Amino acid sequence: MGHGGGGALSAELTRHLFLPAYGNQALGELTDSAALTLGGARLAFSTDSYVVRPLFFPGGGIGDLAVNGTVNDLAMSGAVPAYLSCAFILEEGTELATVGRVAQAIGAAARAADVTVVTGDTKVVDSGHGDGVYITTAGVGLIADGVDIRPQRARPGDVVIVSGPVGLHGIAILSVREGLAFGTEVASDTAPLTGLVQAMLAVTPEIHVLRDPTRGGLAAALNEIAAASHTGVVLDERAVPVPEAVATACALLGLDPMYVANEGRLVAFVPRHHADVVVDAMHAHPLGREAAVIGECVAEHPETVVARTGLGGTRIVDLPLGEQLPRIC
Amino acid sequence: MGHGGGGALSAELTRHLFLPAYGNQALGELTDSAALTLGGARLAFSTDSYVVRPLFFPGGGIGDLAVNGTVNDLAMSGAVPAYLSCAFILEEGTELATVGRVAQAIGAAARAADVTVVTGDTKVVDSGHGDGVYITTAGVGLIADGVDIRPQRARPGDVVIVSGPVGLHGIAILSVREGLAFGTEVASDTAPLTGLVQAMLAVTPEIHVLRDPTRGGLAAALNEIAAASHTGVVLDERAVPVPEAVATACALLGLDPMYVANEGRLVAFVPRHHADVVVDAMHAHPLGREAAVIGECVAEHPETVVARTGLGGTRIVDLPLGEQLPRIC
C-alpha cells in the first residue's frame, strides 16, 4: 500500500522503476504535471488515478477529486487548465445510479473549474476485481509566456506560504471511513485552484514554486521541493493553520497534521520582496482567505525540512514512508 | 460486463449517462479522440484504460496495448501522437518484477511509436480490490492543417479499406486465457499505426474516416461510422481478410470474426478516385501489406451495415450488444 501513498516508497518506485523504463527529461523533473511545447503552444499535461474510499464523503466525492486533482496539478505549473479526459474502471454490479451520481459530480466540478471533459473511456472488470468505481483523469492546459513555476526554482530567501488550513481532506475521509466523529463534521477542502493561482500571478509572475499538498500532506510537498531545488526549508510550526477539529482528530489518533492530505490547498515559494503582495492577493480570493506565511527557504541543511516547534525546539519533518491513511484520493 | 465491451451497451452508457452529465460538443462527436485548439495549436487528445487479462499474451502485453491503443486513437484523427501520460492502479501484493516488466514494455512501445511518456501516477488498492495491474494512458498529438478525419465525414461513394487481417488480437487473448490451441499460435496484432496513417496522408489529405476496430471488432467500428455519418455500409464478406487460425477458432467457438477485437488494424473511408493510390501507399508500409478494399459507403439503408455473404445473400451486421469476450484490452 505504501508504494501508492505519495511518500518515500512512491518516489522510489518512480525513480528506480518507471524513470529507467521510460527515461526522458520531462518525466525526470518529477513535477505534478509536465511542461511541453507542441505546435508552438506551451502546454501542461498531467494525469492521476482516483481510488478513494468511500466514493462520497463530506464536502465531495471521487468525481470532484478526479476533476479538481488534475486541474490543480496543471494549475501548480501556472497553467490555465482547459480540457480533461476521464476514464472509468467500473466493477461489474456497480449500481448505474452510483455511476450517474459520480458523472454528475464530474460535470459540475468541471463547470466550476472552467474545464471541459472532451474524451473518455469505460471499462468493466469482473465483480470482486475492482472496487465500485476507479477514475483516471488527464488534463491539458496552457502556460502563459513568462511563467516558469517548478520545484527546482525554490531559492534561499523565498518565503513559504500556505493558502489555508491543512488536514481537512484526510480527516474527512477518515471520519466517514472509520465512523469516527470529532465534535463537528469535518468536510474535505476539495476545490479547483486555478483562480487563486491566476490571482497570484496577476500581481507578480515571480512565483518560484507551487505545489498542492495532497498525498503525504505538507510534509511530502515540502520535502519534494527541498529535494528538487537542493535547498532547506524551515517551518514555523505554530504558523501552520490547523483547524481545531483536525488537531483533535490527529491527537486522538496519533497522526501528525503535517502528513494529512489536502485537496484544495497550495504551498507557494515566493521571493521575500514579493511575499506581501502575493499574500494580499491570496487573502482577496475565496480560497486564500486564510493564507499564511509558514516558513522560509534556506541554504542550510539542503534537502531537509525542519520545523521550529511551539516549545522553541526544532525537529526534522521527514518525507513520509507511505501514507498514514491509504486511498484518500 | 457488457457496458465495458465497446458495443451497444457502452454507447448507451455514454449517450444517456456521461454526455448529459458533461454535456459539450467535443465529447458529443463520440470519436476515439477529441480534436481541440489550444494556444493556436490543433491538438488531438484521447484516453483509454486497460484491464486486459492475462497481462502478457502472444505478441504483446498490457504495456504495449496501453501505448499503442492511445497512440492509435490519436492517429485515427490524423494526428501525430507526441506525448503520453501513464497512470497505474496496482493491486497490493503484485510482484514488483511484474510491474517492472510492464514498465519496460511501455518504454519500448513508446520508443517504437515515437512518443514520450512525460507524466504519470501510481495508486495501490487493497489486495482483492484490483487485478494485478490496471493502466490508463492519455495522449496528445498534433493535427496538421488541412487534415479533417472523423466518422461524420463518410460519404456515399467512399470505398472501405481494411489495413490487414482481422481477429488476431481477440483470438490471441482467448487462446491463452482459456488454454486453447488452434494449430498454430495466434499472436496479437498490437502495433502503432501513426506511420501507416502518415504514409496514407502523404498521397492524399482526402481521407474521410479512420477507425481502429478494437473492442467490438470491424462490426462495431463500421456501425459507429454509419451512425455518425447517416450513411449505409455494404461489405463484401469474402474480401475481409480473416487468417485461417482465426477462422478455425471462430468456427470452433461460435464467434464471428467481424466482432473480434484488433489492436493494430485500421479501417479507412476514402473517396473512390483516391482509393488506388491510398491502397498502394498502404501496401508499401509494413503494417499495410495485406490492405484490402472490403466494401463501400452507400446512401441506401442509412446507419446500417450489410454484408454480402459468400453464398450471394446479404445479412445485417449489427452493432454488438457487448463484447463476445470481455477484457481483451
With beta carbons less than 8 A apart as the criterion, state whether A88 and A99 touch. Answer: yes
Q: Determine the number of helices (DSSP H) and then strands (DSSP E) in chain A.
A: 10, 14
Chain B nearest C-alpha distance from A308 (Å): 33
Partner-chain contact A5 B43, CB within 8 Å: no
DSSP class per residue in B66-125: HHHHHHHHHHTTT-EEEEEEEEEEEETT--HHHHHHHHHHHHHHHHHHT-EEEEEEEEEE
β-strand partners of B119 = B85
- For residue B234, which amino acid is it? V
Top residue of B13, B119, B127 to mutate, by most chain A CBs within 10 Å, is: B119
Q: CA of B39: which chain A residue's CA is closest?
A: A41
Distance CA B168, CA A231 (A): 54
What dihedral do alpha carbons B215, B218, B223, B228 form, nearest 10°?
80
End-to-end CA distance of chain B: 13
Contact of A328 with A55, CB cutoff 8 Å: no
Place of cell 444517456: B16
Helix (H, G, I), strand (E, B) or coil at A314: strand
Residues 84-113 of B with CB under 8 A from A: 85-90, 92, 96, 99-100, 103-104, 106-107, 110
Lowest mean pLDDT among A15-29, B101-115, B210-224: A15-29
CB contact under 8 A, B27 and A128: no
Which residues are CB-neighbours of A272 under 8 A, at least 6 positions away?
A157, A158, A159, A296
* Nearest partner of A261 among A321, A221, A288, judged by Cα: A221
pLDDT averaged per 10 residues, chain A (length 329): 82 86 69 88 96 95 97 97 96 93 96 96 89 95 95 97 97 87 84 98 97 95 96 97 94 92 97 98 98 98 94 90 78
CB contact under 8 A, B17 and A326: no
Which B residues in the span 124-143 are in contact with A, Cβ-Cβ below 8 Å?
124-126, 128-131, 134, 136, 138, 140, 142
Q: Cβ A47–B88 below 8 Å, yes or no?
A: no
Q: Check pLDDT > 80 for residue B180.
A: no
C-alpha cell at B77: 484523427
Question: Tens digit of pLDDT for each residue in B50-75?
Answer: 999 999 999 999 999 999 999 999 99
Contacts of A87 in chain B (CB under 8 A): 47-49, 136, 138
* DSSP E strands, A101-166: 116-125, 133-142, 158-162
pLDDT grade, residue B5 (50/70/90)? confident
Q: Do B40 and A36 lie within an 8 Å CB cutoff?
A: no
Taking CA–CA distances from A9, the nearest residue in chain B reads: B122
Alpha carbon distance A64, A60 (integer Å): 6
pLDDT grade, residue B30 (50/70/90)? low
Cα separation of B208 and A32, whole Å?
38
Contact at CB, A131 and B136, closer than 8 angstroms: no
Contacts of B240 (CB under 8 A, 6+ apart): B162, B166, B218, B257, B258, B292, B294
Cβ burial A41-80 (10 Å sphere, 16+ → b, else e): bbbbbbbbbbbbbebbbebbbbbbbbbbbbbbbbbbbbbb
Contact (CB<8Å) B27/A96: no
Q: How far is A184 from chain B (nearest CA, A)?
A: 30
Rounded Cα gap, residues B210 and B72, in angstroms: 10
Buried b or exposed e, range B185-212, using 16+ CB within 10 angstroms = ebbbbbbbbbbbbebbbebeebbbbbbb
> What whole-number distance in Å separates Cα of residue A147 and Cα of residue A30?
18
Q: What are phi and psi of B164, to 5 degrees?
A: 175, -175
**Can you read off the three cell numbers belonging to residue B315?**
445479412
Distance between B273 CA and the closest CA of chain A, angstroms: 32
Residues B85, B117 contacting (CB under 8 angstroms):
yes
Helix, strand or coil, per DSSP, at residue A257: helix
Mean pLDDT across the stretch B233-248?
Answer: 96
The answer to whether B4 contacts A124, with C-beta atoms less than 8 Å apart, is yes
Burial class of residue A213 (count of CB atoms within 10 Å of its CB; 0-12, 13-18, 19+) = buried
Burial of A210 (C-beta count, 10 Å sphere; 0-12/13-18/19+) = buried
pLDDT for the residue B7: 81
C-alpha distances in angstroms, A131 versus A90, A127, A159, A277? 8, 8, 42, 46
Report DSSP state, residue B211: E
Residue of A68, A85, A80 whose CA lies nearest to A138: A85
Residue B52: per-residue pLDDT: 95
Backbone φ/ψ region at A321: left (φ over 0), alpha (ψ -120 to 50), beta: alpha
Closest CA to A40 of A149, A145, A194: A145
A46–B85 C-beta distance less than 8 A: yes
Distance from CA of B125 to the nearest CA of A (A): 7
Q: What is the pLDDT of residue B270?
A: 98
Beta-carbon contacts of B143 under 8 Å, excluding residues fewer than 6 positions away, are: B35, B42, B43, B44, B77, B78, B79
How close A253 comes to chain B (CA, Å)? Answer: 22
Q: What 3-state class would DSSP assign to A290?
A: coil
Beta carbons of B297 and B275 less than 8 angstroms apart? no
Average per-residue pLDDT for chain B:
93
CA distance B314 to chain A (A): 33
Beta-carbon separation of B122 and A86 below 8 A: no
Q: What pLDDT shows up at residue B23?
A: 77
Record the cell numbers describing residue A274, joined without a space: 514579493
Q: How confident is the model at residue B185 (pLDDT cuts 50, 70, 90)?
A: confident
Cα–Cα nearest to B140, from A131, A138, A49, A314: A138
In this predicted structure, the answer to whether residue B28 has a pLDDT above a threshold of 70 is: no
Element (H, E) at A56: strand A56-57
Helix segments in A178-271, DSSP class H? 194-203, 217-229, 244-253
Integer Cα distance of A103 and B229 in angstroms: 27
Q: What domains appear along chain B, each with residue ranges and CATH number?
A: 30-142 (3.30.1330.10), 151-316 (3.90.650.10)
Minimum mean pLDDT among B64-68, B170-174, B178-182, B255-259: which range?
Answer: B178-182
Judged by CB atoms closer than 8 Å, whether chains meet at B18 and A47 is answered as: no
Task: Quote the cell numbers at residue B260.
Answer: 473480434
CB nearest to A23's CB, from B21, B24, B107: B107
Q: Tell me how close the Cα of B252 comes to any Cα of chain A, in angstroms.
A: 25
Q: Cβ of B65 under 8 Å from any chain A Cβ?
A: no
- Which residue from B minimizes the CA distance to A90? B4
B130·A126 Cβ contact <8 A: no
In the block, which residue shows the cell 504558523? A239
Least CB-CB distance to A24: which of B36, B88, B116? B116
Q: Kindly give the residue spans of alpha helices, DSSP state H, lying in chain B.
A: 8-13, 19-22, 25-28, 62-75, 96-113, 168-177, 194-203, 217-229, 244-253, 272-283
Contacts of A24 in chain B (CB under 8 A): 116-118
| pLDDT single digits (tens) B219-232 | 999 999 999 999 99
Measure the CA–CA gap between B254 and B297, rounded to whole angstroms.
Answer: 28
- Grid coordinates representing A179 are 465512523
B130 vs B177 pLDDT, higher one: B177
Chain B hits for A63, Cβ within 8 Å? none
Chain A neighbors of B92, CB-CB under 8 A = 1
Buried b (16+ CB within 10 A) or exposed e, B246-262: bebbbeeeebebbbbbb
User: What's the rounded Cα separation, in Å, for the pair A38 and B115?
Assistant: 12
**Which of A 31-60 lie inside 8 A of B, CB atoms?**
33-34, 36, 38-43, 45-51
Flag whether pLDDT at B249 surpasses 80: yes
- On chain B, the residues whose CB falls within 8 A of the CB of A23 are 107
Q: Do A118 and B26 touch (CB under 8 A)?
A: yes
More confident residue, A305 or B132: A305
Chain B residues touching residue A100 (CB < 8 angstroms) = 17, 21
Q: What is the model's pLDDT at position A293?
A: 98
Q: How many CB pairs under 8 A join A and B?
A: 249
Which residues partner with A121 through β-bridges? A87
Q: List chain A residues with CB under 8 Å of B43.
A: 38-39, 41, 140
Q: Which of A199, A216, A228 is nearest to A289 (CA)?
A: A199
Inter-residue contact A205 to A278 (CB < 8 Å) = no
| Contact residues, chain A, for B106 at CB < 8 Å | 21-22
Inter-chain residue contact A1 with B124, CB threshold 8 Å? yes
The pLDDT tens digits for B288-327 are 999 999 999 999 999 999 999 988 899 999 988 777 777 8
pLDDT at B32: 75
Q: Which one of A17, A96, A106 has the shortest CB-CB distance to B103? A: A17
Query: Cβ–Cβ of A87/B49 closer than 8 Å?
Result: yes
From B18, which residue of chain A is nearest by alpha-carbon distance? A103
User: Do you know the residue count of chain B?
Assistant: 329
